[in-house]
Amino acid sequence: MTPVRRRNVGILVFDNVEVLDFAGPFEVFSRTRLVPGVESRRSDDSAPFHVFTVAPGPGQITATGGLRVVPDHDFANAPHVDLLVVPGGFGTRLLLANETVLEWIRQQSVTTEVMTSVCTGSLLLARAGLLANRRATTHWSSLDALAALDASITVERELRVVDDGIVTSAGVSAGIDMALAVVESLHGRQVADETAYYIEYRRTAPSG
């Protein structure tokens, strides 16, 4: 078997990030294997993604509900990211006014291959100007807020995952569907479905 060209998946974490927003995509990308089954999950040999967390600054972060996570990197030392996941949660409210974070996201959009968000993470992408003239979605409670941030966004109110160059998703657990949709676009339906089977997740209908 030819060696896998492994993509770096960077998952942004910050205080008051919603747990499942980042843990769902972390699970999907870190457990995807190009070789099906249980045995292939015991090593990284057929893993097409290398997943790590990135925080704005050094030190541990506290997610919603109090889960404490030690980020692998901060903005100052993060490796190249091929695929960025911007999760949501109440912590996004503070970050909407944090130009350092918004500028980092803007820079990532230039150098990454795939930009994604979960839940209210799309508000950060919108504030960074990245969703202009695109279709996008967010948690049901923030659809109006997304529209208000940038009138050029076509807010999709019924879809769980929206891929319009940047991949956004609805709330919380929809991030699992988003990650599986990205796996499918990069590695095909069979690999995505087999990963869903491994984590015993029932995928939703096709995204828009």
Tokens 């995807």 belong to 32
Residues 54-113 that bind a copy of itself (CB under 8 A): 60, 64-72, 90
Q: How far is the CB of 69 from a copy of itself (least distance, A)?
A: 6
DSSP sequence for 95-144: HTT-HHHHHHHHHHHHH-SEEEE-TTHHHHHHHTTTTTTSEE---GGGHH
Minimum CB distance to a copy of itself smaller for 27 or for 150: 27
Please choose, from the candidates 192, 137, 138, 175, the residue with its C-alpha nearest in 3D space to the C-alpha of residue 25: 175
Region binding a copy of itself by CB under 8 A among candidate stretches 80-88, 148-156, 171-179, 182-190:
171-179
Binding a copy of itself by CB under 8 A: which of 33, 127, 139, 187?
139
- Residue 198 to residue 200: CA distance in whole angstroms: 5
Q: How far is the CB of 29 from a copy of itself (least distance, A)?
A: 8
- Residue 66 to residue 54: CA distance in whole angstroms: 18
Residues making contact with a copy of itself (CB under 8 A):
18-20, 23-24, 26-27, 30-31, 38, 41-42, 51-53, 60, 64-72, 90, 139-141, 160, 170-174, 176, 198-202, 204
